[in-house]
Amino acid sequence: MDPPTEIANDVAPAKNDVAPAKNKTLNAIKAASYSSHARPSLNERILSSMSRRAVAAHPWHDLEIGPGAPTIFNCVVEIPRGSKVKYELDKKSGLIKVDRILYSSVVYPHNYGFIPRTLCEDADPLDVLIIMQEPVLPGCFLRAKAIGLMPMIDQGEKDDKIIAVCADDPEYRHYTDIKELPPHRLAEIRRFFEDYKKNENKEVAVNDFLPAEDASKAIQHSMDLYADYIVEALRR
């Protein structure tokens, strides 16, 4: 079998001004890369994969929220429990980037991320704090169950957080409402968000926690905003 025309042209005999050694090398590549019955060589396959343009899945837009939403939903972890690094979604590329290191001597008390295919008034997906046994790597997604809502004002703007448990963690999946959590756990969560921006001279106010019903309503509202945005974008 003759090699494809475009490849054959690339390895055609050299002009008179090319040294014989170069001709020999090109012919060796041609002979190694193509035979009458062999698959394309490893080199060709690598080069072919490098030349193909592929679009990576975007965790905000391509990951489905799940059939159980707004009660049980998929969410993407940006920041693992115990981290002082503020990772966040880069909305343009879909990658998880390092935004900053927290200025205060605090760490995230639980895994923190966002709910795909939701949209809030600040043009970001809806934030979620996921209570579970183990820290989760940034960029992973898991199923979570909403148990409450933490209303928050960040520098004068609404920035509410969903409080959830991992739906597949045997220690926490039975929780259905935030009032079932120990009061000290809620105090830790509140204090973290009140303090984590203080050394940046940014003011954060945390209001009283709300039950699971309010969390589900907030998720549904953000799902509706996202759907409206998509419809409007398609019309344009």
Measured at the CA of 173, the angle between CA 169 and CA 179, to 5 degrees, comes to 130
| pLDDT for residue 56 | 77
Would you call 48 helix, strand, or coil by DSSP? helix
> Is pLDDT above 60 for 39?
no
Which H/E stretch holds residue 74?
strand 72-79
> Is pLDDT above 50 for 46?
yes
CA-CA distances (angstroms) from residue 34 to 9, 26, 58?
14, 12, 38
> Is pLDDT above 60 for 145?
yes
Percent of the chain with pLDDT over 90: 73
CA-CA distances (angstroms) from residue 115 to 2, 65, 195?
53, 7, 24
CA distance 105 to 191: 12
Domain-wise residue ranges, the chain: 5-51, 72-235
Residue 29 CB-half CA count within 13 A: 14
Active site residue 87: no
CA distance 105 to 114: 24
pLDDT digits (tens, 9 = 90+) for 175-232: 999 999 999 999 999 999 999 999 999 999 999 999 999 999 999 999 999 999 999 8
CA distance 138 to 166: 15
CA torsion angle 67 149 190 128 (round to 10): 20
Which tokens in the block code for residue 132? Answer: 């579970």
| pLDDT for residue 8 | 41
> Is pLDDT above 80 for 57?
yes
pLDDT digits (tens, 9 = 90+) for 61-107: 999 999 999 999 999 999 999 999 999 999 999 999 999 999 999 99
| pLDDT for residue 161 | 98
- Answer whether 148's CB lies under 8 Å from 160's CB: no
Q: For residue 191, what are the contacts with CB-CB under 8 A and spacing of at least 6?
A: none
- Residue 31's pLDDT band, with cuts at 50, 70 and 90, is low
Predicted structure pTM score: 0.78
72-235 placed in CATH 3.90.80.10: yes
Residue of 34, 108, 172, 226 with catalytic role: 108
